[in-house]
Structure 1
């Protein structure tokens, strides 16, 4: 995951987006937010859910699924595949990560039998776990822009989820011993295996974000329909 040379204008625009987003989005009271990374990766988008540049930070609908944080963090994690292929060109294929899945990653919200509050809790707590797992990425790839930006945007998203919850105090950060135990579980014998684990974390984080954004959008759509039906009656 070597850092690529960036066009100065692109780097400045992306950093400005990150700073603007951090300044304008509300945060949960007392919730710490890490400093904005001093650089951002160049962006090449190919799908509707992978844009990094944030055009605006105002969300008229008020829905969590419409927050610009989602395309911001998904755009960052989407860059991971290209970085992997550049690093391991002619060595291993991207799908080799299926053999290096991290079992300690949190599960996404299920499609049924789950309340919106429980889903928000799972997202926030899951991202807290990922911010710890991303320390392994930072250890294996010091100065990784993808790792640092993924961690930064995840922190903002945690705060936003907690603002939507009725009981945000139930989302507690991991203790020092829990963090240490989680990171010990990522220890591997060889440098290659440790790098595979780092890449697997980023890949699994991307799918965690995609799945949970869809889950929240589903709940918000259902809630909107319920309100509409009530008004008609």
Structure 2
């Protein structure tokens, strides 16, 4: 009937207009953080998602070995969970499970990674031949560029300046050699948790955006079918 056809055409026209607008604005309206619109630089294939990047996988694959190296060094004298007794001052904050946009999560991830690059200088003093350390430092620059490549406002991410770096390392220092070793191990342990948990949160937000995009695109098929009836 003409009235139904007109209604369908009007709905389809609205959908086409929606397709021309950035999907990110709709996502940001429901999340706290940067609400100015996400950068849609990532493609639609699984391989182009930040959470699926090879460099992130390599870094996680190396840091997950830390428990094995710790237990190998201390044999059965100390349990891995004992590291909870050693706190790292002002550890980088992870992306929360909700109320944070993807842009805000990327910003926190990038700044946290910059901080860990400074913390690893402390680890290097205690374990200069650490295989974990060498791999993580080798790939951290590549991961940082991937993160920034997905951001709208990458220029807002700044590494620690010299005074901040000096203050952070000073807070970690301790005259007791045993305490310094435990702190170095705790940094590596927390780095693994930071990379693992951040990967999960970024993956959730990437999948959420893909789902929204597919819901918008899908109805256009029925519109084209209607026109050819």
Larger Rg: 2
**2:131 maps to which of 123, 132, 145:** 145
Using the TM superposition, give the Cα deviation of residue 152 of structure 1 relative to its aligned residue in structure 2, in angstroms. Answer: 2.1
SS in 2 for 1:185: helix
User: Following the alignment from structure 1 to structure 2, what is the Cα–Cα distance between the partners of residues 60 and 219?
Assistant: 13
- Which of 210, 213, 220 is matched with 1:227 structurally? 213
| Contact 1:138–1:144 (CA under 8 A) maintained in structure 2 | yes
Whether the 8 Å contact between 2:89 and 2:171 is mirrored in structure 1 is: no
Could you report, residue by residue, the CA deviation over 1:4-49 in whole angstroms, capped at 9, with x for unpaired residues?
xxxxxxxxxxxxxxxxxxxxxxxxxxxxxxxxxxxxxxxxxxxxxx
Q: Bigger CA drift: 115-124 or 95-104?
A: 95-104
Q: What are the ranges of 5 or more consecutive residues in structure 2 without an aligned counterpart?
A: 1-44, 220-229
1:106 corresponds to which residue? 92
Confirm or deny that 1:173 pairs with 2:179.
no
Partner of 2:200: 214
Q: 1:124 — aligned with what?
A: 110
C-alpha separation in 2, matches of 1:104 and 1:156: 25
Contact 2:109 2:198 in 1 (8 A): yes
Q: Give the TM-score taking structure 1 as reference length.
A: 0.72
Match of 2:9 in 1: none
Equivalent pair of 2:47/2:53 in contact (CA under 8 Å): no
RMSD: 1.2
Q: CA deviation at 1:216?
A: 0.5
Shift of 1:222: 0.4
Q: TM (normalized to structure 2)?
A: 0.74
Residue equivalent to 1:27: none
2:70 match: secondary structure? helix
Alignment map for 1:1-233 (pairs within 5 Å): 61-233=47-219
Alignment partners' CA distance in 2, 1:173 and 1:67: 22
Match of 2:222 in 1: none
